[in-house]
Amino acid sequence: MPYVLGIDVAQGRTHAATCHRQGPGWGEPEPLWLGTRSPAAASALFLDDEGYLLTGDAAAEAGAQVPSRLLTGFHRRIGDDVPMLVEGEPFPPETLTTVLVEGIAEHAANLYGGPPQHLVLTHPGDWGGYRRDVLRRALADAGFTAVTLVPGSIAALGAHLPLPGPGAQVAGVCEYGTDGVNVTLATASGASGWQLGQGAEGVAPAAALSTLFALAGAASTSPKGLAGVVFCGDVPPHALPARPPCPVFAGPVPPATTALGAAALAALRADHRGTPQEPPAVETTLLPKVDTLGELGERPPRPPIEITPFELPERTGPMNLFRRRRPLAAAVLLLAAAVSGVVITVTAREATAGPAGTPAPTHCVPSGEGHC
């Protein structure tokens, strides 16, 4: 049965979804069950005693017993110079992501009798061309040549607004997570597809929608002018506004929205529709064949580091005045000391002097006759 596959590799959990061919078109995206107790599985790998990498929930369960062999957070480290080490073995992050994708693709192939016609894989929205190229090559080496890489927020829009309308369009995404809400504004012009605009991370849930409207206002778009707002991730109850000024989409399973959108975009790409243009910092282009891959671009330079020396607080003792060569301050200090000395001397003399007119004492001891 022909199908396409969408995979959303998030920080903690990985979701997947498929679309199946139905006559000339494609059916609605459906979640692909990955976990042991839920459709999602852990974004984790585990190195077993035989040198194989377990994936998903099996890896998380094994890692609970031997944490030193558990690998997590590798998807966001793609492009780093330093590999991840487990038991002294180095693993490049892009290779680990490829192993996770291979496990999901193999699971789907066992269910549907073959590989997908197209694969859409999500990535963080702040990735540049270098990281995308690194992941492209790792996927191509594993045999995945029909792949589209898209930012997670663009994939979330694909679940409800896969094809922008005519003319200029603006839409928003509110992705709820453990560290707050990531708010993203996306724009589209004609057939260019959705492109990332301004965004904000770690926004308080109560301020998510107002932050999005502020970003839209900065882009000269009113809340009523938005094509829609997609709520995804761990959306809390009653997070959706009661009377929104624009269409709002959440879906029956908000945590799986991004994977469902990725599958919907994969169906469009399989039919060569919705071809987007690659923006400077995000990518939605089809992976070329292995033999057409050029050289990797230059690694983006690391930001400059400026070290500001710590200045100790200035000493205020009298000797510091001379050490710092401050003659005026030193002279004032000496003058004050001299005046204090004079005052003390005068005060002491007045205290020892008797009252005026008092005869000086003698050492005469009167005799019995009244003479000394």
Q: What is the pLDDT of residue 321?
A: 44
Q: What is the pLDDT of residue 227?
A: 94
- Which residue carries 């663009």 as its tokens? 154
- For the chain, the three-class secondary structure string (H helix, E strand, C coil) is CCEEEEEEECCCEEEEEEEEEECCEECCCEECCCCCCCCCEECEEEECCCCCEEEHHHHHHHHHHCHHHEEECCHHHCCCCCCEEECCEEECHHHHHHHHHHHHHHHHHHHHCCCCCCEEEEECCCCCHHHHHHHHHHHHHCCCCCEEEEEHHHHHHHCCCCCCCCCEEEEEEEEEECCEEEEEEEEEECCCCCEEEEEEEEECHHHHHHHHHHHHHHCCCCHHHCCCEEEEECCCCCCCCCCCCCCEECCCCHHHHHHHHHHHHHHHHHCCCCCCCCCCCCCCCECCCHHHCCCCCCCCCCCCCCCCCCCCCCCCCHHHHHHCCCHHHHHHHHHHHHHHHHHHHHHHHHHHCCCCCCCCCCCCCCCCCCCC
Looking at the structure, do residues 15 and 145 belong to the same domain, yes or no? yes
Q: Which of 21-25, 225-229, 254-258 has the lowest mean pLDDT?
A: 21-25
Looking at the structure, do residues 275 and 243 belong to the same domain, yes or no? no
pTM attached to this predicted model: 0.74
Domain holding 271, by residue range, is 1-159+253-306
Domain boundary among 283, 306, 329: 306
Residues 6+ apart with CB under 8 A from 131: 78, 79, 123
Looking at the structure, do residues 31 and 154 belong to the same domain, yes or no? yes
Mean pLDDT of the chain: 82
Mean pLDDT of 215-232: 95
Domain boundary among 250, 266, 288: 250
Asked, for residue 195, whether it belongs to a domain, the answer is yes
Q: What whole-number distance in Å separates Cα of residue 368 and Cα of residue 185?
A: 120
In degrees and rounded to multiples of 5, residue 248 shows phi and psi of -125, 135
Looking at the structure, do residues 119 and 37 belong to the same domain, yes or no? yes
Kindly report, residue by residue over 68-99, the tens digit of the pLDDT.
999 999 999 999 888 999 888 899 999 999 99
What is the count of structural domains for the chain?
3
**Residue closest to 276 by CA, chosen among 90, 111, 149, 182:** 149
Looking at the structure, do residues 10 and 130 belong to the same domain, yes or no? yes
Kindly report, residue by residue over 28-65, the tens digit of the pLDDT.
999 999 998 889 999 999 999 888 999 999 999 999 99
Contact 266, 26 (CB under 8 A): no
**Residue closest to 187 by CA, chosen among 168, 212, 160, 210:** 168
Asked, for residue 359, whether it belongs to a domain, the answer is no
Looking at the structure, do residues 61 and 106 belong to the same domain, yes or no? yes
* Exposure class string for 170-187: b at 16+ Cβ within 10 A, else e: bbbbbbbbeebbbbbbbb
Looking at the structure, do residues 70 and 55 belong to the same domain, yes or no? yes
